[in-house]
Structure 1
Amino acid sequence: MALSTADFDFELPEALIAQAPIRPRDAARMLVVRGGTLEDRGVRDLPSLLQPGDVMVVNDTRVIPARLRARRGEARIEIMLNRAEGDGSWHALIRNARRLRVGDEVAIEGADLTARVLEKFEGGSARLDFGADPARLEAALEQAGELPLPPYIQREAPRGEDRADYQTVFAARPGAVAAPTASLHFTPELLAALDARGVERATVTLHVGAGTFLPVREEDPSRHVMHHEWCELGAEAAATINRARAEGRRVLCCGTTALRLLETAARDVHDRTAPIPVFSGLTNIYILPGFPFRAADMLMTNFHLPRSTLLMLVSAFAGVGTMRRAYAHAVAEGYRFFSYGDSSLLFREEAA
């Protein structure tokens, strides 16, 4: 039976939307979803839930202060950097985009920097040239940029601690405009416990784009158009993952970003023990129920927005009915939702 976007809706009390992370990070709760069963655990229990030889795939993207305020004459423009293009320009989401034309130049407030409009696209986005080398742009972002917290984290004014809170312990490669939030739960102590358990780690990169917050407006979810994000599965990470696959060991993706990258790279791999090739480029992979997972056995992820592509992804992974029960349980038990919220550990439906 065909699913509609309404099938992925649910009532969420506003009080359950986390506005700040729990401290320490690994003190968060974790709902384990396996074979249709639900178990209330904690993030610190992760090592005991994994087996020696399991491979944990993490995303090392770093969130940049991507929101810029600018002017063109008297017109106020807000720029949300979305994705670096190969030629040094940036794809960006523009508020008040109707005031801009191709060729216009805008002045960035708070920095000695301008941006020229190279192209405009439907939906209020554009391609911008900042006319600066990457180091100069990075310095300008640190000086004048604002951290692009999700719209459901409500702040009267930016908080200094968000600069650290909204980065993962793995953050190394700048380029994301949103955090890979599953990894916000990790601490050095938890990583040491995972190492002691014999869990291997593979590091990949997917620069999360602003489109991650876009709702699905089509009632037929298959008509939704996914945004593109840059990602990379390098040779070292691929080798670690492929050794595990060949030996029948399990692969845990920490976050939907790591899972989307692996499934992109494995799209032409049909044998679950066959190697996944290295990959570097853009992905707009869209995972709906019925998707043939080829790479991941487990998924660690936070609780997602109603009617979102990420809720559809986890439903594809663990089963639509199972995830409906899991989310109803999470609401009833007061789990904290979204970026700064609690976690879940999902076992792939056919592998649970």
Structure 2
Amino acid sequence: MQLSQLDYFLPKELIAQKPVSPRDRSKLLVLNRNTGEIQQKCFFEIEDYLSPNDVLVMNNTKVFPARIFAKNSKGKQIELLLVKEIKNGTWEAMRRGKVKVDELLKFAGVKFKILENRGENVLVGFPITTEELFAKLYRYGITPLPPYIKPTKNEHEIRKLYQTVYAKQVGSVAAPTAGFHFTEKLIRTLKQKGIQIEYVTLQVGLGTFLPIKATDLGKHTMHSESFEVHHNTLKRLNQAKAQGKRIIATGTTTTRVLETLADDSHKLKIENFSGSTNLFIYPPYKFKFVDALITNFHLPKSTLLALVSAFVSNPNSTDKFRNLAESTVGKAYIEAINRNYRFYSFGDAMFIY
């Protein structure tokens, strides 16, 4: 499959710069992937499509202020995005600015060293504990917003906006944005309706947001991202699946965790409750565990759009994917554009079943 098959044109004015308030008042495009039928709703109306026979699975990761501005010995500013802790004190980071191996940089009064150069990325070593580093990050670090969002709020407000209401496990540099649409009230309403809600954790990193550079999707390699799912959660999910309940994934990150753990018998491997995944889903991938998907509208030529395209096409529906424009999901995107839906992280949502 070629990258060009995932392209489309989006008017810039449809790129959302802030979430709606309340969050569950965002628009919701409901798509039947087998018939192609589209319905226009508000997100809080998603409860009308859910029943006690459904299990809603969410990614409870929490974004941390991972973007820092350090200075070298000459006083030059170097921007770093701390993506993943490799071991205590050693981090993989994206960099903006030239650095050399063994060079010392300074951030928040702490000198740290460039350990390794990995092209656009570096390994850095901090001489303090993880707890001490996070204390400094929460005081001096910046929330790493996507480049298409121009911050108009102060850092304190951004930290609240760029986070799901159920965020718990710190470790992501990008938010699982499908979860932005849920309010605490809506979650309570769904629970009162008898809908089972379960949580997984995938720490969102380079694998999710880095662009695809290969023209042939088969040659793209996803960066690994760590995940964790409680043993009892896996048992409950397997039990629900065996009972014929519908598994609804909130977002592409949740989907990738579940599909990584699923085997060909449509069960989750209980022994692998933590690990890492570089699963890249694109047509014609056959889904093993996820039955329905809540997701945002994604960038052209992205791994996220590839996953959604796979979910809406053969062998998961009757639609054979040729290119986005001729596909069921592509027609839904055109409908959304024509109706002025808001796109990307702070944008509107889709419910695909």
Question: Do both proteins adopt the same fold according to a TM-score greater than 0.5, normalized to the shorter chain?
Answer: yes
Aligned counterpart in structure 2 of residue 27 of structure 1, from 25, 29, 35: 25
Question: Which runs of 5 or more structure 1 residues have no equivalent in the other structure?
Answer: 348-352
Matched, 1:170 2:160: no
Whether the 8 Å contact between 1:63 and 1:176 is mirrored in structure 2 is yes
Alpha-carbon distance between aligned partners in 2 of 1:207 and 1:300, rounded to the nearest angstrom? 19
Does the CA contact (< 8 Å) of 1:30 and 1:40 recur in 2? Answer: yes
Which residue number in structure 2 is paired with residue 287 of structure 1? 281
Give the conservation status (yes or no) of the 8 Å contact 1:82–1:209. yes
Distance 1:239 1:212 in 2: 27
User: Distance in 2 between the 1:293 and 1:333 partners?
Assistant: 30
Contact 1:113/1:140 (<8 A) preserved: no
Q: Secondary structure at the match of 1:161?
A: helix
Q: Return the alpha-carbon distance in structure 1 between the equivalents of residues 338 and 42 of structure 2.
A: 17
| CA drift at 1:40 | 0.9
1:322 corresponds to: 328
TM-score where L is the length of structure 2: 0.92
For residues 49 and 276 of structure 1, the distance between their equivalents in structure 2, rounded to whole angstroms, comes to 29
Conserved in 2, the CA contact under 8 Å of 1:233 and 1:265? no
* Correspondences of 1:75-94 after superposition (within 5 Å): 75-94=76-95
1:210 CA displacement? 3.9
Is contact 1:245–1:275 with CA below 8 Å preserved after alignment?
Answer: no
Runs of 4+ in 1 over 6 A off after TM superposition: none
**What is the distance in 1 between the residues matched to 2:173 and 2:228?**
17
Task: Provide the secondary structure at the position in 2 that maps to 1:131.
Answer: coil
Q: Structure 2: any 5+ residue segments left out of the alignment?
A: 314-320, 322-326
The one-letter code of the counterpart of 2:3 is T
Question: How far apart, in 1, do the equivalents of 2:268 and 2:254 lie?
Answer: 17
Q: Tell me how far 1:318 sits from its aligned partner.
A: 1.0
Quote the residue 1:350 is aligned against: none
Q: Give the % identical residues.
A: 39
Aligned equivalents of 1:264 and 1:286: distance in 2?
Answer: 10
Q: Specify the SS of the correspondent of 2:269.
A: coil
* CA shift for structure 1 position 87: 4.1
**Residue number among 218, 232, 235 corresponding to 2:231 in the alignment:** 235
State the Cα distance separating 1:88 from its structure 2 match: 4.0
Q: How many pairs does the alignment contain? A: 337
Q: Equivalences for 1:1-352 in 2 at 5 Å?
A: 3-34=1-32, 35=34, 36-74=36-74, 75-96=76-97, 98-101=98-101, 103-108=102-107, 111-122=108-119, 124-155=120-151, 158-266=154-262, 269-272=263-266, 274-277=267-270, 278-319=272-313, 320=321, 321-347=327-353
Once residues 153 and 48 of structure 2 are traced to their aligned partners in structure 1, the CA distance between those partners, rounded to angstroms, is: 40
Distance 1:151 1:286 in 2: 23
Question: Using the alignment, how far apart are the partners of 2:12 and 2:281 within structure 1?
Answer: 27
Root-mean-square deviation (CA, aligned residues, Å) is: 1.5
Write the distance in 2 (CA, Å) between the matches of 1:132 and 1:140: 10
